[in-house]
Amino acid sequence: MSNDQEFVSLDERALELVTLDEHELELVNGAWGWSDLKEAAKGGFGLRTLYREGVKTVTAAVGGWKLANQMYGTPEKGASWSDKRRAMGAFKEYLDGSDKLPSWAPQW
């Protein structure tokens, strides 16, 4: 077999792969269609969600702590743990209601 014949067969195989329809592509990819792959890639394959939740959790913890101390604390003693937890939860719900991240975090 000459090198020319090998290249022709590889080119023909490449054309066969290019002409796969969406259903065949799903079978090859384990039932992941092109739209599924594009959607997963947009989210960084889960890293974007993980990053955003981490930023929101840290912000809610710090912001809720400070908010509770200002609203319910005294100069001698800060707010109670239950007030701090409640303020952190409320702050997290507030952050979850928006697609934007706080200004201190890089937007992704």
pLDDT in tens, 70-98: 999 988 888 999 999 999 999 999 999 98
38 and 51 together in one domain: no
Domain of 20? Answer: 3-42
Q: Is position 107 within any domain?
A: no
- Contact yes or no for 62/56 (Cβ under 8 A): no
37 and 54 together in one domain: no
d(CA 45, CA 36): 11
Give yes or no for residue 21 having a pLDDT over 70: no
35 and 71 together in one domain: no
What does the pLDDT look like over 25-58, one tens digit per residue? Answer: 555 555 555 566 566 666 566 777 888 889 999 9
48 and 29 together in one domain: no
Instruction: Please tell me the total count of domains within the chain.
Output: 2
23 and 53 together in one domain: no
Tell me what the mean pLDDT of segment 19-28 comes to: 59
- Contact yes or no for 88/60 (Cβ under 8 A): yes
32 and 69 together in one domain: no
56 and 75 together in one domain: yes
Position 20 confidence tier, pLDDT thresholds 50, 70, 90: low
50 and 29 together in one domain: no
